[in-house]
Structure 1
């Protein structure tokens, strides 16, 4: 019953999805999983443009999200992106399920306001997330406390919080002397897609972090390219550059040039 509720795309939809990612279909290996995650973060941006524009509840229905992101060539936020990605994983043949995450970047314990996916392979579980902006983990992370997953943008690892929950940490390679940053508390058990409805409602309500301010992220080979409000953070070989936007027209130009998103 629970597994029957998980998102899953059909063969035709998976083919269109892979075309959007500019990847050929391959066997369901861990290596291909890493390529899917990295390419997804590079090609399909995290963005909350519809919420800021309309202040209406974002639909996380799989067909709606597929039409918006794959056919409409848009991005989305975590409840859209990770629902769609889970549909791709299961459609391709991976054994995968959705998990709830508590965001820990702010003080206090909050309700689970993020969703990600877990892939089961070779008797082990791997955490996969294509719906978190910033320095996201660009590959599947082994969900075993103490095991480090190395990436171009730092190391990621899990530590035990309590029974059923693991804390997910990030440590930047340039800050080896400093402690890591605790990002999420991740459930070890699957959730049904309907379980995320209250969190989606909360994140689409006045006062929520994505309700009023435009937030757009896309990973590049030099790190995350982002728009937050009227500030654009560009990352190039020479380093980071911050540009302040002065009009809606400038924002539209940045969205089109850097994120391949065209909005009216």
Structure 2
């Protein structure tokens, strides 16, 4: 994944990455966490009636130069640009979201990075349910603790991985995927569906999520939540308050 205007130094500045720079797991882990803490998951463009652009240069400009966020193709896309610049091998995978009441197509995009023959699931674009660090694809059928969240990964005989998370003692299916390599262009139909279809959650409501060191901030429509391990606070906002929260908490300007 390349963009003609991509600058690794500018990307690191955008995500406030200050660690060592090597094509290794420690860099991968630190870079993923830094981006999650600085670049929000958001669908403001879709709410403005736009089809999200998958042109790499436009994704880079939006996130790095204009201090915006994006949804899965965008935030994982710019992360892939950084992996490419670092020389870390990776490929895209198509995932089936399983947080809906009915079976859905594989419209989600994630990344599998390979370092020293170990494969790591990286995903910065699954909103409030997402992982916060890479998960080794060999870590099967075990609790994977990441800060205040617990995940598990299983593998079916057919080669489908299932990612789940635990909340209030109940395991929740997040998505399933296999290791079939996807090209960037393969996500164009899914992106168009997510940007335009009336059943798309991104069309139905404003969604903004930003991970924090101790929790996460979530804006869904006019409902704002601040979540930590100890406490979840929720408040309903006016239209003016939504714009203020976007700027004050997510560092975004609302563009209706």
**Structure 2, unpaired ranges of 5+:** none
1:234 matched residue in structure 2? 226
1:162 to 1:18, Cα distance in 2 relative to 1, 3 A: same
Report the alpha carbon displacement of residue 118 of structure 1 after superposing the two structures with TM: 0.6
Report the alpha carbon displacement of residue 246 of structure 1 after superposing the two structures with TM: 1.4
1:181 correspondence with 2:172? yes
Q: Deviations over 1:89-145 (max 9, x none)?
A: 111111111111100112343111110111111212100001111142111001123
How many residues get paired?
252
1:45 correspondence with 2:40? yes
Report the alpha carbon displacement of residue 198 of structure 1 after superposing the two structures with TM: 1.0
Distance 2:96 2:229 in 1: 34
Q: CA RMSD in A?
A: 1.9
1:253 correspondence with 2:244? yes
1:114 correspondence with 2:108? yes
Distance 2:93 2:30 in 1: 21
* TM-score for both structures, normalised by structure 1: 0.89
- 1:63 match: secondary structure: helix
Distance 1:39 1:233 in 2: 21
Q: Check whether the contact 1:141–1:156 (CA below 8 A) recurs between aligned residues.
A: no
109-118 or 230-239: which moved more?
230-239
10-19 or 88-97: which moved more?
10-19
Q: Check whether the contact 2:40–2:208 (CA below 8 A) recurs between aligned residues.
A: yes
Q: Check whether the contact 1:47–1:217 (CA below 8 A) recurs between aligned residues.
A: yes
* TM-score for both structures, normalised by structure 2: 0.92
- 1:74 match: secondary structure: coil
1:215 matched residue in structure 2? 207
1:31 matched residue in structure 2? 26
1:81 matched residue in structure 2? 75
